[in-house]
Amino acid sequence: MTESLNGKGLALVPKSDAKQTMKDYKSDQEVRWCPGCGDYAILAAVQSFMPELGLRRENVVFVSGIGCSSRFPYYLNTYGFHSIHGRAPAIATGLAASRPDLSVWVITGDGDALSIGGNHLIHALRRNVNLNILLFNNRIYGLTKGQYSPTSEVGKITKSTPMGSLDKPFNPISLAIGAEASFVARTIDSDRKHLQSVLREAAAHRGTSLVEIYQNCNIFNDNAFEPLKDPEVRDNITLRLEHGQPIVSAVKAVRRRPDGSLEVVDRDGVDESEIVVHDAHNPDPSVAFALSRLDEPWFAHVPVGVFRSVERPSYDHEMSVQVEAAKSERGAGTLSDLLMSGDTWRIG
Amino acid sequence: MTKQVQQLDRVIIRFAGDSGDGMQLTGDRFTAETASFGNDLSTLPNFPAEIRAPAGTLPGVSSFQLHFADHDILTPGDAPNVLVAMNPAALKANLGDLPRGADIIANTDEFTKRNLQKVGYTTNPLEDDTLAEWRVHPVPLTSLTVTALDNFDISKKDAERAKNMFALGLLSWLYHRPVDATVKFLESKFAKKPDIAKANVAAFNAGWNYGETTEAFSVSYEIKPAKLTPGVYRNIAGNQALAYGLIAASVQSKLPLFLGSYPITPASDILHELSKHKRFGIRTFQAEDEIAGVGAALGAAFGGALGVTTTSGPGVALKAETVGLAVMTELPLILVDVQRAGPSTGMPTKTEQTDLLMAMFGRNGESPVPIVAPSTPSDCFHAAIEAARIALKYRTPVMLLSDGYLANGSEPWRLPEIDELPDISVEFATEPNGEDGTTFLPYKRDPQTLARPWAVPGTPGIEHRIGGIEKADGSGNISYDPNNHDLMVRLRQAKVDGIDVPDLEVDDPDGEARVLVLGWGSTYGPIAAAVRRVRKAGGKVAQAHLRHLNPLPANTGDVLRAYDKVLLPEINLGQLALLLRARFLVDVISYNRVRGLPFKAEELAGVIQDVIDSD
């Protein structure tokens, strides 16, 4: 148990002998999201990605909270637990910490993860339990029919905010990096190839990975991410984060200012050597954090990809190490030793 | 000089001082000496929630009461025979409990003008006639300790701090306690600070020698060992017994124990204790909050562990939603509630029985949960195993209702024979259970217990999804069908109602009693002691004590109806009485005090006698 599991997120999960297909991961339940919901695309992407991992299907568990996205586990033919609003990271922590042989996925939304469950999310991230958290961010409460969420932009007109919302939204990436997350990424529902590439890296990461997935709610917040999907502009505003590559869009580049902060400038006229080269494995989170701050509410430019992927011990593994150390130092416990462990005396 | 030795059959000592004076440690050590000597005993620690309240004030007083005897006893005693008062606050706070003629050992060094003023004494009670009713032994504990430690290379402050060990030495001499274990204890406790260890041992010995050589104490006392049932004994407090019970449940069920918990008084000691026993394969998880504690425990239970969460009243309120999820998903889960005085933060270090109705009903929807309540500190061990048995056999969350009195109180415990502990192992589901041979029905129930299969991840062929949405009977798929919901509500209730619990036993030696005194949980000791007193005085009274509060034993109604009157003392405003009246239409007579303290035997004896006499 003492060897490093870094980079081996699934090292302890048994592999399947049989070749799997997407069909193996579809459950017999009818999918009941609204027609046109971005969740369909994410579900299909996950179902077609899972066979690639080659895990025994019975060792895969999807745990969710409450919200539209949290119905996800019902549609996957694995073990699944649809739990309580906000609590999925806590429940998944107990499961993953006691069962290192499982691949545990948490499905959550912006309200579930960042509002009612904010505490569990940040503590899961700092502990670094071996979990993959997929945060479907549609910037709205869908299941309760359209209230603003903790990622809605200021001034959002919704049923509960007819004169506009007042509170500043969270940036989930900044929040996760601030919570000591070891793996933080962003992708989008409509780009299956990119989504799956991020999932691949998240699954390989030993520890908690947080993947923010921009997801369209076509009923209550339609086209929230339209600029990122519009073929006319998307390549101009998407800053691709690829480890070892310069951070650029089709027309923009990221450059370091003299004071060390980052700025987005026109790609034309900037010297290649000035463009920041992405280092997802940098132990110092400040550059990843600075990248997360390049977001602008109206999508002038959006970094997408793996912001941060660093190796540090996972909680579940460390917990197992302590249990094994206690057993090897003092031997497995017996009840008679336990009961006799204090001052005892005999009568009769 | 040969000193007189007097025989006593029992003594009640209360050590009282500032919360920084080490009174709990002193009491613990005297208890350990007394236990190893073979007396029966019962203890009552009583301390403020503040770690260090302002020194010398009444709110800062911490005390430890110990009752020990040459026969079996049931309570920590009503009124101390001896009060050790380390300062004027300790004297003033405890004087009201002292019967006339009791001994007071007072640390005169602390009876300074300033300390007297702090608690409102205008003159020194040791020097006027305030204490004329009692036998006062003025001892300059602090200065004697400092003098005894003159040659030690420690600070004056450290020397003064050893005064509790001087007091312990003196009391150990006074009651002929064996001292070797205390010396060993001090050496081990201060192993990293040998100077402090030696100083404490020296202070302890100096206290002993002070009793032996000075004329301040002319009499010492012997209390012969008690004639208890043969066996191996140890002293144990309720929280420790409960932790051991959970470990035993893990061993006896062959399931790894997973504890998800958040620090809270007075339950934290269970977390501390279990975290020391990782070699049993135990995983202890200190969560970010109460909700995560129970959530992680439930997640572990889904994965096939014995999931446990430990808390106290306010924590139970926070966990309620997750307990509801455990009811809906029908997974085994143990929720330990070490009840304390409420509502809200209440009095965190004081005891109460006020969470019974919360345990019964404190969730949304129809969500029945079995309830088990231990009756004595050592019974916490067996009650924990029983809670686990029910949780595992019936796949249900179980509430285990301890309380502050049981948690911190201690008593000698005759160790059980390991091979007599129940086997509570369960079978996981291994294969599809549908009639077609390929389908798995996670809500197809065992016809006997109504329990559903426990199918843990990692088992091929029975992958399934569960959750908090209403389940279709059998398949467990989401269902909003009205009749299915009605059926499932009734099935969940029927499962809990059908749990096998032993009949309620009645203690009625000559069978002539017309009054039954009924209790539950930690009131067992005071009620049983009161019943003894009444019987000794010629009164006829029957006693019964409930361990299972939900479901109640099948014969409960018959037992209640068999007596003209049923008296039910509770440390709440009549919560069990409400349930019994509703269920059995029996006009239970409640006796309620909610002072944060256990009942006194004398008080209850009077109440019982009044009920017997009131025709």
DSSP B501-530: -PPPPEE-TTS--SEEEEEEGGGHHHHHHH
Distance CA B79, CA B83 (A): 10
Query: Phi/psi at A255 (nearest 5 deg)?
Result: -130, 150
CB atoms < 10 A from the CB of B14, how many?
Answer: 27
Beta bridge partners of B231: A347
Query: A102 and B282: CB-CB below 8 Å?
Result: no
Give B1's pLDDT tier (boundaries 50, 70, 90).
low
Beta bridge partners of A55: A15
pLDDT at B528: 97
Each residue's pLDDT tens digit, B573-602: 999 999 999 999 999 999 999 999 999 999
Query: B305 and A98: CB-CB below 8 Å?
Result: yes
Distance CA A316, CA A100 (A): 7
List CB contacts (< 8 A) between B232 and chain A: 340, 344-346
CB atoms < 10 A from the CB of B490, how many?
Answer: 12
Residue with tokens 């798995």: B440
| Domain-embedded: residue A56 | yes
Query: B295 and A319: CB-CB below 8 Å?
Result: no
Distance CA B545, CA B526 (A): 12
Residue type, A255: R
Residue type, B202: A
Query: B415 and A348: CB-CB below 8 Å?
Result: no
CB atoms < 10 A from the CB of B311, how many?
Answer: 25
Distance CA B466, CA B302 (A): 10
Question: Is residue A57 within 8 Å of A77, Cβ to Cβ?
Answer: yes
Question: CB contacts < 8 Å between A and B, how many?
Answer: 209
Q: Which of B231, B295, B329 sits opposite A87 (nearest CB)?
A: B295
User: Can you list the residues of chain A whose pLDDT is less than 70?
Assistant: 1-7, 297
Q: How far is CA B263 from CA A69, B44, B260, B559, in A?
A: 33, 22, 10, 40
Residue B228 gets which letter from DSSP?
P
| Domain-embedded: residue A249 | no
Distance CA A63, CA B583 (A): 40
**B263's tokens:** 């620090």
| Domain-embedded: residue A319 | no
Query: In three state form, how does the secondary structure of A309-324 look?
Result: ECCCCCHHHHHHHHHH
With CA atoms as reference, report the closest residue to A139 among A226, A216, A72.
A216
Q: With an 8 Å Cβ cutoff, is B428 touching chain A?
A: no
Q: For residue A31, give its domain range.
A: 22-230
Each residue's pLDDT tens digit, B61-99: 999 999 999 999 999 999 999 999 999 999 999 999 999
| Domain-embedded: residue A74 | yes
Query: B45-56 in b/e burial notation, b at 16+ Cβ within 10 A?
Result: bbbbbeeebeeb
Query: B244 and A348: CB-CB below 8 Å?
Result: no
**Which chain B residue shows the shortest CA-CA distance from A347?**
B230
pLDDT at A3: 52
**Which chain A residue shows the shortest CA-CA distance from B464?**
A79
Each residue's pLDDT tens digit, B87-130: 999 999 999 999 999 999 999 999 999 999 999 999 999 999 99
pLDDT at A346: 87
| Domain-embedded: residue A326 | no
Residue type, A261: S
pLDDT at B228: 87
**Which chain A residue shows the shortest CA-CA distance from B296?**
A94
**A133's tokens:** 């958290």
Each residue's pLDDT tens digit, B298-318: 999 999 999 999 999 999 999
| Domain-embedded: residue A220 | yes
Nearest chain A CA: its distance from B29 CA (Å) = 11
Rounded (to 5) percent helix, strand, coil in chain A: 35, 20, 45
**B28's tokens:** 């613990």
| Domain-embedded: residue A93 | yes
Residue type, B107: N
Q: With an 8 Å Cβ cutoff, is A91 touching chain B?
A: yes
Question: Is residue B74 within 8 Å of B533, Cβ to Cβ?
Answer: no
pLDDT at A254: 97
List CB contacts (< 8 A) between B414 and chain A: 347
Distance CA A291, CA A276 (A): 10
Query: B416 and A339: CB-CB below 8 Å?
Result: yes
**Which chain A residue shows the shortest CA-CA distance from B274?**
A338
pLDDT at B237: 96
Whether residue B415 has pLDDT greater than 70: yes
Distance CA A227, CA A234 (A): 6
| Structural element, H or E, at residue B85 | strand B82-85
- Listed by number, the residues of chain A in 15-74 with a beta carbon closer than 8 Å to a beta carbon of chain B are 27, 29, 56-61, 63-64, 66, 73-74
Nearest chain B CA: its distance from A310 CA (Å) = 23
Query: B299 and A56: CB-CB below 8 Å?
Result: no
**Which chain B residue shows the shortest CA-CA distance from A94?**
B296
Q: With an 8 Å Cβ cutoff, is A301 touching chain B?
A: no
Lowest model confidence (mean pLDDT) among B75-79, B214-218, B495-499, B563-567: B214-218
Distance CA B13, CA B42 (A): 11
**Which chain A residue shows the shortest CA-CA distance from B31?**
A343
Tell me the residue ranges of DSSP E strands in A217-337. 238-241, 252-256, 262-266, 302-309
The overall average pLDDT reported for chain B is: 96
Distance CA A58, CA B156 (A): 66
Q: Is the peptide bond before B457 cis (omega within 30 degrees of 0)?
A: no
Q: Which of A58, A339, A340 sits opposite B457 (nearest CB)?
A: A58
CB atoms < 10 A from the CB of B558, how many?
Answer: 12
CATH code assigned at A124? 3.40.50.970
The vertex-A268 CA angle with A266 and A269, nearest 5°, equals 100
pLDDT at A1: 40
**Which chain A residue shows the shortest CA-CA distance from B430?**
A58
Residue A58 gets which letter from DSSP?
G
List CB contacts (< 8 A) between B459 and chain A: 58
Query: B298 and A335: CB-CB below 8 Å?
Result: no
Work out whether the CA dihedral B273, B277, B283, B288 comes out positive or negative: positive
| Domain-embedded: residue A28 | yes
ipTM above 0.95, yes or no: yes
Question: Is residue B298 within 8 Å of A94, Cβ to Cβ?
Answer: yes
**B59's tokens:** 């709110």
Lowest model confidence (mean pLDDT) among A2-6, A157-161, B343-347, B537-541: A2-6
Residue B576 burial (CB < 10 Å; 0-12/13-18/19+)?
buried
Distance CA B593, CA B601 (A): 13
pLDDT at A295: 85
* Total domain count, chain A: 1
Q: What is the mean pLDDT of residues B342-362?
A: 97
pLDDT at A104: 98
pLDDT at A191: 96
Distance CA A334, CA A312 (A): 34
**B86's tokens:** 């380390």
- Listed by number, the residues of chain B in 203-232 with a beta carbon closer than 8 Å to a beta carbon of chain A are 225, 227-232
- Which of B233, B363, B465, B480 to mutate against chain A (most A CBs within 10 Å)? B465
Question: Domains in chain B, please, with CATH?
Answer: 4-222 (3.40.920.10), 234-420 (3.40.50.970), 427-481 (no CATH), 506-613 (3.40.50.920)
Whether residue B520 has pLDDT greater than 60: yes
pLDDT at A87: 98
